[in-house]
Amino acid sequence: MPRLAFVVVALAVTAAATAGCKTDNPNSCELAANAGKPDCTMIDSGQPVMDKCKAAPDCASTPATPACDTLKEGGTCVQCTAGDLRVCAATATTPRCENDMCVACVDDADCGGTGVCLLDGSCAVVDNIIHATPAGSSDDDCGTLTKPCGLTKAVAVATSQKNIIKLDSDGTYNADNVTITKTVTIDARGATAGGAIIKRSNNGPILTITGGATTILGGMVQGSVNGNADGIVCTSNASPTTSITIVGSVITGNERSAINSDTCALNIVKTTISSNSHRQNQYSPAITSSNGSLTVSQSLFTMNQGGAISVSNGATFTIVGNVFSINGDGAGPLGGMSLVTTSTSNRLEFNTIVNNVVQLGASAPGVHCLSTDFVARNNIIWGNVGAAGIQVDGNCKHDYSDIQQTLLPANDNGNNLTPSQDPLFNADFSVQATSPVRGRADPGSSLTGIASHDIAGKPRTAVPSDIGAYLVPAQ
């Protein structure tokens, strides 16, 4: 009889517990909706492989995802977190953590501060870095963190493998009689937003480049007072062609051209080229490209007395997504640009060419272009001052552009804003939300690669896109 009473009581307790559970547990792994969640991933035994993590040691069984993101679904093992970069640090190609994944670097801080973030998003191999400071050593064994070189010596000791020159601190680096004949990268990003200054203390070019592939990252190349020279001179008689890539830099204050190039390949990205050719009665274009090639994107050319760009002698060009403003002089022959080309594959697209000046009787203050069948597209050419009412001249055609000029038949390819309409500039020559250039670009334009973003870095996604260097903001 006592045993029967025990069974009855046990059944009663079970019934009461069952009666109290009215709904399923929404996090139960037995529900089909939760089958794909990490906590419910099953192994052969039919048991979950892991519970929610609380800290990195809980992820020890998953070496590919050893970090614990406690905010993701209550605790999830991931590749990395801001405080756990073990996986990222093990590879030079993806050293930074973003959204729990290892990705490419964006600046030197992602490479430990003393490293160098290269253009491909990888961190330079530590043994390939030559460290330099403004007062660095001129000894042959310099280049370490504890014994950095001066810039001139750093260029001299560079080899085919050890060729990444990092300017460790801000300040002025003298580049007296520096000639670069081999492939080098100069990281001038320094310790602050302005970076380092590369300058010559006496007359002559700051950098003369005659061979290899030179890359300059950030910083400033600044002409000296009474230097009476170009900032960078590039000449090439070698094969392959000598090249210069400049990203995120400032080139300013040179008494002649910022860059004078003959038979070189120039690639200029996100760079400001300003106040060059400032010597009285000196009218050297900011960039002169003869033979070779020129690519310019997302850059600003402003207040260059000799004008912005001159391309001649068969040089090819790709000039996409830039602002050319207030270049030239009332006594000078060139304002925005002069392009003499024989190739129809060249590109002059998505630029804003505004308020440039030439002397009366000179070529057009905006774009002077000579080429049979070349077509420039998607540009704003406005407010340039020279011959009355003229913004462009030559025999190149213009299409899907806003040009403050009644175009002659030789220049109008049939799709320009006619009549032209005020683009409604802001002070920095971006445009207002009500600008008429919205959606007026060539619908067949390529919006990939060099044209994928505007000068401010905003992606061009709408088709047709907006005319000019800046996308029109949303209304």
- Nearest alpha carbon to residue 166 among 204, 112, 206: 112
CB atoms near residue 20 (< 10 Å):
7
Distance CA 148, CA 165 (A): 10
pLDDT score for 341: 79
Total-model pTM: 0.86
Residue 292: partners with Cβ closer than 8 Å, 6 or more residues away = 236, 241, 261, 262, 263, 264, 265, 266, 315, 316
CB atoms near residue 164 (< 10 Å):
24
Residue 467: partners with Cβ closer than 8 Å, 6 or more residues away = 350, 378, 379, 380, 400, 401, 402, 417, 423, 437, 440, 441
CB atoms near residue 344 (< 10 Å):
10
Distance CA 284, CA 333 (A): 10
Q: What letter would DSSP give residue 17?
A: H
Query: Residues 457, 463, 464, 467: what is their CA dihedral angle, to the nearest 10 degrees?
Result: 0
Mean pLDDT by 10 residues, the chain (475 residues): 38 41 54 58 42 92 94 94 92 92 94 93 96 97 97 96 96 92 95 86 92 96 82 85 96 96 96 93 94 96 97 94 97 95 88 96 93 92 89 95 90 93 97 98 97 98 97 94
pLDDT score for 434: 98
CB 251 within 8 A of CB 284: no
pLDDT score for 410: 83
DSSP readout, 41-97? -B-TTSSBS----SSGGGGTT-TTS-EEETTSTTSEEES-BTTB-HHHHT-SS--EE
